[in-house]
Structure 1
Amino acid sequence: MAPKAKVNPKPSPSSTPPAAQSVPLEDLFAALHHHAQNFEYEQAARVADQVLAIAPGDEDALRCKVVALIKSDAIDKALSTIQASRHLPIQLRFYEAYCVYRQNKLHEALKVLDGQERNSMILQLESQILYRLGKMDACMESYEKLQRFKIDSLDLKTNIIAALIAAGRSAEVQETMDALKVKATSNFELAYNYACSLIEKKKYAEAEQQLLSARRIGQEMLMEEDYADDEIETELAPIAVQLAYVHQLQGQTEEAIEAYMSIINRNLSDASSLAVATNNLISLRGTKDVSDSLRRLDRLIEKGTGARQFQLANSLDFKLSTRQKESLYTNRLLLLLQANRLDQAQEVISALPEMFPDSVTPVLLQAALLAREKKVAKAEEVLIQYADKFPDKSRPVLLARAQIAAAGGHFQISVESLSKIPEIQNMPATVATLVSLQQRIGDFGSAAAVLDSAIDWWKNAMTEENKLDLIMQKAAAFKLNHGREEEASQLYEKLVKSHGNIEALVGLVMTAAHTDLEKAELYEKQLKQLSGLKQLNVESLEKTPGARHVEDQVVVEIMATCSIKPGIPVILKELEQGSQFFHQGASLRVTGKLQEYSVDTAIAVIIEDDVSFNIDTRHLRDLAFRIGSYYQFIGELLILPEDSAILQARVGRIVDGLDINLYHQSLQLRRQFEVELMNSRVT
């Protein structure tokens, strides 16, 4: 700042210090300029006070004092100076917002900026605040406005790329870098950010090479600027942490743990990198070494002051992003639950909603604690209230409610929760889960309706990976298992005609044996004409898709909780000691003529080709037993002493219309199909 000539006013002796009166004002401004140019901010602030003592309300002196205090990290003093000057016609709102931002009062800082003209300085600060708050869409809007000012700053361009990645828009990074005329080699921060975009796109090998390049660029740049070795290591610590994270993502667990431990043990002065490394290490360990993991987190999370229950150590509240801070608290809470320290877990949960008001994580963790305390109904209530209040955030909440309800045996509530998420209704994982839950309730009609609805949806779906065949195959098997042979036969026939699927052909023969013997015999001939299955595409058979939906892993977890296995169809004579089917808990489907039935014990005896077998029917409802009729049961095999066995049935039905001989032939063909398929895989 150039020296500023001023006409000396005549202040009263009582208001002006003698030392200030003896120095001409222009000399004070010259000294102020000298200290500012030499980064001597504490001295600059003192000289500014001298100027203000002579000329109270001087705008230049006041601005210089505020900036000098900020530059010397005297944020509280700077804010006090601004607040004491509010009666003056001087615009200091930008500096006030910056001071509040530095105090980590992010929402308050945004309020201070309200109503201000969006010049380049305001937009840069606003973008940083929004970035720290995790409001990435709004942050990118500010950066887009900022680009209209044509500011040629590499730091600004680096921040724009970082915000783009944090907003989940990694696919746009290369295009944006081209538009900004920067390359990944421009500086090590850009190289690092570009590597992060590759990680988001799951290009881990490329990301690793880019991180190594970032480290090399950083070492060269910092050495040229005469940084000491320990300072270079601290500056490049984020790259080291991200390299360890790439190892973690690639399944290289030992390498990742070793890298994280190396970073932690070096005790670098970069507190944020140490915190991220610690948190990642704890996530990688999972439930192992819970006590040690808690001790490590306790060094990062401490009791708060005033109204705040908790705060992060080492100024981490200011250095970490909202998502990173939330991850630290979440991991600590999960560890407390694992250690059964429920009182401490409750303390953390009660603090989280205020700390992370825009996140669904606090309510999910609250529900997890309630479920751990066996308060399943309360957990369900908390989640549905949140979902109703914030419908735009309801999806993960409803999925969590479905999982908790299913685990607690509240299958109808689980169904209702999943049914409130229309965008996943026809995904294979959701369909399988809903069908399984409806079966648990005993509502087989609704289960069939779910499958029918999914078939209709996939018929009209314009997607690259259409799941119609998969859904039809599952629907046909379900309908066959629940006495809807005609519907099952129609589905299998459509599959055979559209794709010539071998498994569908076997299913068609089995279902037609119930409803249309002529059709069954016709298709059975097609099976017999297969010559060793040599022309089968084994790889395509091995890649038969399963019911999964990676975006909603919780649905798959519900399936694990609620899955009802269809049962492997077997002939009674196959159930002998040493058979592949004769093992504890085997899920089987058996068919035979009812020979005996005990009302007292609910034990049914079926016979087939002179082989009899006992069925425990205690869990079956609304099934009439008639001696001489044919029955089919699905259940689990219970091995008894002396190698006898009984089937604990969970599904049963009368199959008097079944051609038992044709059914046996189709099973034998299926066995042949499986054996030859396995042989073809071996060769």
Structure 2
Amino acid sequence: MQNQLEEALESIRGQEKTPMVLQLESQILYRLGKMESCIDSYKKLQKLNIDSDDLKANIIGALVAGGRSEEVDATLSALKAKSSKNFEIVYNSACALVEKKKYAEAEEVLLNARRIGQEFLMNDDYAEDEIETELAPIAVQLGYVRQMMGRGQELIDEYNVVLSRNLADASSLAIATNNLIALRNGKEVADGLRKLDKLISKGNSEKPFELSNGLDFRLNPKQKEALYSNRVLLLLQANKIDQAQELVSALQEMYPKSITPILLQAAVFVREKKVPKAEEILTQYSNKYPKNCMPVLLALAQIAATAGHFQISSEALSKVVEIQHMPATVATLVSLWERLGDISNATLVLDASIEWWKNAMDGERNLSVLMPKAASFKLKHGKEGEAARLYEELVRSQGSVEALVGLVQTAAKSDLEKAERYEKKLKPLPGLKGVDVEALEKTSGAKHVEGGTHVAKMEISDEVKKAKAKKRKRKPKYPKGFDPANPGPPPDPERWLPKRERSTYRPKRKDKRAQIRGAQGAVSRDKHDTTAATSGTGAGTSGAISGKAGQASAGSSKGGGSQSALAGNAEQNKGSSKSRKKKSRN
């Protein structure tokens, strides 16, 4: 498909730049992702003053896709399309607001675009399914806007409805799938992988991975990168490290200037417990592209801090100039330097941040957070003078009671006169005027300083002593006939346990001797017969087992037959012995 687009573009290069040729060239360049050339071609068309809503919508769409959303307002004014009633123009202008992260305004414009589109398509006698298909991009974009506004959970059902009805175009379905996976936040990993596997397939040696359904030419590079990136994250969560590494390697070739593949590669290395490699590639990228590397530096700081490499973490975080003096960043840096034992660097971070916020226009709020923490930190590390100066400055500028208390406590260690002077500014606590201090010192537990160090004993009144003396002790009740002087042996502690669970329990042995029943001669003959029958049965059964399974029943019947025959012989022998006994009596 790409080769065909390249051939089509090459075929019109030598032709005259008529409006039709320019429009065709712009569309081909848009499909190829060459947004700058596409925008240039559309600007040539714009100079021809062609009054076409489709052309205006395409120009706005190209500006948004090319990352030049800030030019949309001026272009709309130049095209006289600010109050347009074309839902595609309104939709593209909403996309420009989305790129600027003005989500509330974008939501209003998208709702307006949907309303205009419904009215327009209904007037053209479109069916409900056709209207839903035409307006699917607006519905998906509206869902994304609400997702960015923190209303994502209510959109899961809406995304599922869009995907189940399958009425939208392929690009809208792909975006809805991607947004739904992101909305689940790591849940239902297997289902997410199944959905993405339908969109992403392996290609050839030149292009290891590609998107199905022509999505490579319907989605812009940012959208395609998001699809691939989410698949890497799902593979990591599914513990399919090899597949994730394969896709990440391809992404670095497909998007060499993007930060996302580097971050994903670092995540794969961390998952493989190769933290030094992750730190190495992040450091290399930050040195190569120092301007737009804040996410890389933050990732490096986090990975290094988690691994206990506090030096690397503090150095990486110190390079993030954009958030250098934010209270959270300052707190993290101070903690890292403190763990490294470098108190001087930690103090420098605090002092630099305080000085920066003093010169800022709206720094009072952050100063009220940073200065008490800085004073507490300096007091902790033996810098009472600097801590007292910070507290004193807070008292003068803000009149904070907490700062005044901190100042009194800090100054009491180095400058008692200052501590007493500021202590007088503290308001007395209510309810303490009627308290007799001398009486408190004489109460139980108080130490009396004037007459020497001793603990005052609490005086007990005579009434309390009499009440204690009147209490009589009740004699314990013993069982009938029990003599407490001679209690005898203690009861068995295991008396409540069952006999089988007691330590003294010994089970009875079974009598292994043969049971003699009947006359002695008959018993010996029975034993002999039983032994013979058993040997016959064993022979038949063993033959059956050694053969096939189908022959097992035949072998058993043979054994059974031999046993019954022997039993019959035994009965005959018994009968003959009885007859002999009767004859002898006669």
With the shorter chain as reference, the TM-score category is 0.5 to 0.7
Q: CA deviation at 1:462?
A: 5.0
Residues 76 and 175 of structure 1: is their aligned pair in 2 closer, same or farther, counting only changes over 3 Å? Answer: closer
Residues 286 and 307 of structure 1: is their aligned pair in 2 closer, same or farther, counting only changes over 3 Å? Answer: same
Q: CA deviation at 1:484?
A: 1.3
Q: Which residue of 1 aligns with 2:581?
A: none
Q: 1:230 and 2:150 equivalent? A: no
Q: Which residue of 2 aligns with 1:405?
A: 304
Residues 496-535 of structure 1 show CA distances to partners (whole Å, capped at 9, x for unaligned) of 1112123322322222222222222222232225889xxx
TM-score normalised by length of structure 1: 0.57
Q: Which residue of 2 aligns with 1:422?
A: 321
Residues 465-491 of structure 1 show CA distances to partners (whole Å, capped at 9, x for unaligned) of 873443323322221222212111111
Q: Which of 441, 445, 461 lines up with 2:344 in the alignment? A: 445
Name the CA distance, whole Å, in 2 between partners of 1:458 and 1:326. 39
Residues 70-103 of structure 1 show CA distances to partners (whole Å, capped at 9, x for unaligned) of xxxx9967876998xxxxxxx84268xxxxxxxx
Equivalence map 1:460-471=2 (5 Å)? 460-461=359-360, 467-471=366-370
Residues 127 and 377 of structure 1: is their aligned pair in 2 closer, same or farther, counting only changes over 3 Å? Answer: farther
Q: CA deviation at 1:395?
A: 2.4
Q: 1:284 and 2:204 equivalent? A: no
CA contact (8 A) 1:123 1:143 kept: yes
CA contact (8 A) 1:234 1:270 kept: yes
Q: Which residue of 2 aligns with 1:93?
A: 13
Residues 621-672 of structure 1 show CA distances to partners (whole Å, capped at 9, x for unaligned) of xxxxxxxxxxxxxxxxxxxxxxxxxxxxxxxxxxxxxxxxxxxxxxxxxxxx
More strand by proportion, 1 or 2?
1
Of structures 1 and 2, the larger Rg is shown by 2
Residues 92 and 163 of structure 1: is their aligned pair in 2 closer, same or farther, counting only changes over 3 Å? Answer: closer
Residues 122 and 201 of structure 1: is their aligned pair in 2 closer, same or farther, counting only changes over 3 Å? Answer: closer
Q: Which residue of 2 aligns with 1:365?
A: 264
Q: Which runs of 5+ in 1 are unaligned?
A: 1-73, 84-90, 96-115, 533-608, 610-683
Give the letter aligned to residue 154 of structure 2: E
Name the CA distance, whole Å, in 1 between partners of 2:47 and 2:363. 39
Q: Which runs of 5+ in 2 are unaligned?
A: 432-454, 456-586
Q: Which residue of 1 aligns with 2:273?
A: 374
Give the letter aligned to residue 431 of structure 1: V
Q: CA deviation at 1:192?
A: 1.8
Q: 1:243 and 2:163 equivalent? A: no
Equivalence map 1:566-645=2 (5 Å)? none
Using the TM superposition, name which of 242-251 and 292-301 deviates more: 242-251
Residues 414 and 140 of structure 1: is their aligned pair in 2 closer, same or farther, counting only changes over 3 Å? Answer: farther
Residues 279 and 266 of structure 1: is their aligned pair in 2 closer, same or farther, counting only changes over 3 Å? Answer: same
Q: The residue matched to 1:302 in structure 2 has which SS?
A: strand
Q: Which of 377, 393, 416 lines up with 2:292 in the alignment? A: 393
CA contact (8 A) 2:31 2:218 kept: no
Equivalence map 1:74-113=2 (5 Å)? 92-93=12-13
Q: The residue matched to 2:201 in structure 1 has which SS?
A: strand
Using the TM superposition, name which of 175-184 and 260-269 deviates more: 175-184
Name the CA distance, whole Å, in 2 between partners of 1:134 and 1:465. 48
Q: Which residue of 2 aligns with 1:261?
A: 160
Q: Which of 115, 118, 127 lines up with 1:216 in the alignment? A: 115
Q: Which residue of 2 aligns with 1:434?
A: 333
Equivalence map 1:176-187=2 (5 Å)? 176-187=75-86
CA contact (8 A) 1:244 1:255 kept: no
Q: Which of 83, 87, 90 lines up with 1:191 in the alignment? A: 90
Give the letter aligned to residue 287 of structure 1: G
What is the aligned length?
Answer: 432
Residues 495 and 135 of structure 1: is their aligned pair in 2 closer, same or farther, counting only changes over 3 Å? Answer: farther
Name the CA distance, whole Å, in 1 between partners of 2:405 and 2:28. 63
CA contact (8 A) 1:94 1:122 kept: no
Residues 524 and 145 of structure 1: is their aligned pair in 2 closer, same or farther, counting only changes over 3 Å? Answer: farther
Name the CA distance, whole Å, in 1 between partners of 2:108 and 2:357. 41
Residue identity over aligned pairs, in percent, reads: 59
Higher relative CO (Cα under 8 Å, sequence separation at least 6) belongs to 1
CA contact (8 A) 2:133 2:169 kept: yes
Name the CA distance, whole Å, in 1 between partners of 2:152 and 2:13. 50
Q: CA deviation at 1:313?
A: 1.0
CA contact (8 A) 2:358 2:364 kept: no
RMSD, aligned α-carbons:
3.5
Residues 362-419 of structure 1 show CA distances to partners (whole Å, capped at 9, x for unaligned) of 1111011101111111111111112222233332222211111111110100111122
Q: Which residue of 1 aligns with 2:208?
A: 309
Name the CA distance, whole Å, in 2 between partners of 1:282 and 1:431. 35
Name the CA distance, whole Å, in 1 between partners of 2:57 and 2:88. 7
Q: The residue matched to 1:311 in structure 2 has which SS?
A: strand
Residues 605-626 of structure 1 show CA distances to partners (whole Å, capped at 9, x for unaligned) of xxxx9xxxxxxxxxxxxxxxxx
